[in-house]
Amino acid sequence: MQLKFSQNSKWVNNAIYSFTTSFIAFLGIVVPAYKFNHVDSIILVVGLISVMIGVIHGLHSLRLSEKVYINLEDERMYIYRTTILPKKEVCYQDINFCLHTHVHDVELIIVRLLDGREVDIQCKWLEDYDLKYLIDFLKKNLQKEGQFRSNVASNNV
C-alpha cells in the first residue's frame, strides 16, 4: 500500500517562498549589473547557485503531493526522506515499539528500532484516512502486545 503526501497548501506555500527567494537572489545579480555595469564573479556565482537551489526546491515542493511518503509491504515499510537520500527501510521485526504522540505541537509516530535508532513519521504529511490506515496497519503487523502505543486523543486512533 502506498501512502502519498497530503494534498495541502503547505507545499504550495513552500514553493512560493522558494520562488520568491530565487527572484530576490536574481535581483541581487541583475540590479548591480544594470546599475554599475559590473558584477563581481563571487556575487554572480553565489547568486546563480541561490537561484538554482530555490527553483529546484520550488519545483520539488510543487510535486511533493504526487510522491509516495510511506510504502507499506508485507515484511517492511519504506519512508521517504528527501530526493537526495534513499528511502528509509524499516523491517517490522526490527521494531521495538511505535509511539503515536505530540512533540512540540507536532503529531508524530515515532518508530523505535531494536538497535535504539528512531524513525519519525510526520502525521500532518498524510491525509487523515491514510494516517488511520497506517495506525491500523501498524497495530495489526506488530507482533507483541503493546508494541503500538498512543497518547493522542483524536479521531484517527
**Residues paired with residue 109 on neighbouring β-strands, in sequence order:** 100, 121
Answer for the pair 114, 96: CB distance below 8 angstroms, yes or no: yes
Is the pLDDT assigned to residue 156 strictly greater than 50? no
Q: 3-class secondary structure for 82-100?
A: CCCCCCEEEEHHHEEEEEE
* pTM recorded for the entire structure: 0.76
pLDDT digits (tens, 9 = 90+) for 57-109: 999 998 888 899 999 998 899 999 887 888 999 998 889 999 999 888 889 99
